[in-house]
Amino acid sequence: MSRRIGVMGGTFDPIHHGHLVAAEEARWQFDLDTVVFVPTGQPWQKPVGVSPAEDRYQMTVIATASNPAFTVSRLEIDHQGPTYTVDTLRRLRAEQPEGTRLFFITGADAVLQILTWKEPDQVLALSEFIAATRPGFDLDSLVNQVPGAAGRVHRVDIPALAISSSDVRGRVARGAPIQYLVPDGVARYIQKHRLYRGPAGG
């Protein structure tokens, strides 16, 4: 059987249990061999206040270390300048044997952005999509707005976790607990490196 690889892109500033639940549920429901987490390099769409790529990478490694099916790629963080999903998917595809099926895993909010950014037709040709439900976003109406998405975007219903990285950053900034929202190792990393202590939570 051909290999099936999940790809989960994100800023991961920081990675939290919403990301991990979405990735694991997608792995299980779609019988994926691996899920590759790809932290973004210099995200041009979130230019201010993003933590150093190396911190986001380390936290992603810590959070995924115990899952034998999860790996983390430096593809985007080692790349100078902005990276586009379409380029990442091309590179990942080039590394894989012929016939490998790629599944880009996103939350309901991100699927529309990714499929309308750069070369949406190419993105959809390179990879199928697994869009995880996320509280506050109507996935079906979002997907209906993307031409050519029908049949290439699959829906995965995950236990709703209203967790976001922005909320986690805000909580750290005001001294609220983040235990149980992020893996313990990530919480300890944030504390050790004094991330998100600034007034804006960045």
Among 68, 77, 66, 67, smallest CA distance to 38 is for 77
Among 5, 20, 22, 61, binds ligand ATP (CB under 6 A): 22
161 contacts ligand ATP (rule: CB under 6 A): yes
* Spatial distance between the Cα atoms of 191 and 187, rounded to a whole number of angstroms: 6
Among 91, 81, 133, smallest CA distance to 110 is for 133
Among 92, 124, 163, 182, binds ligand ATP (CB under 6 A): 163
* Spatial distance between the Cα atoms of 66 and 60, rounded to a whole number of angstroms: 11
Helices (H), 39-173: 53-64, 85-95, 108-114, 120-126, 139-143, 165-173
Residues 117-156 binding ligand ATP (CB under 6 A) are 132, 134
Query: Minimum CB separation from ligand ATP for residue 110, in Å?
Result: 3
110 contacts ligand ATP (rule: CB under 6 A): yes
Site size for ligand ATP (CB under 6 A): 18
Q: Which is nearer to ligand ATP, 27 or 134 (CB)?
A: 134
Helix (H, G, I), strand (E, B) or coil at 111: helix
* Spatial distance between the Cα atoms of 51 and 65, rounded to a whole number of angstroms: 21
Among 6, 18, 41, 183, binds ligand ATP (CB under 6 A): 18
Among 72, 106, 186, 187, binds ligand ATP (CB under 6 A): 106
Instruction: Retrieve residue 43's tokens.
Output: 């995200």
60 contacts ligand ATP (rule: CB under 6 A): no
Residues that bind ligand ATP (CB under 6 A): 10-13, 18-19, 22, 106-107, 109-110, 132, 134, 161, 163-166
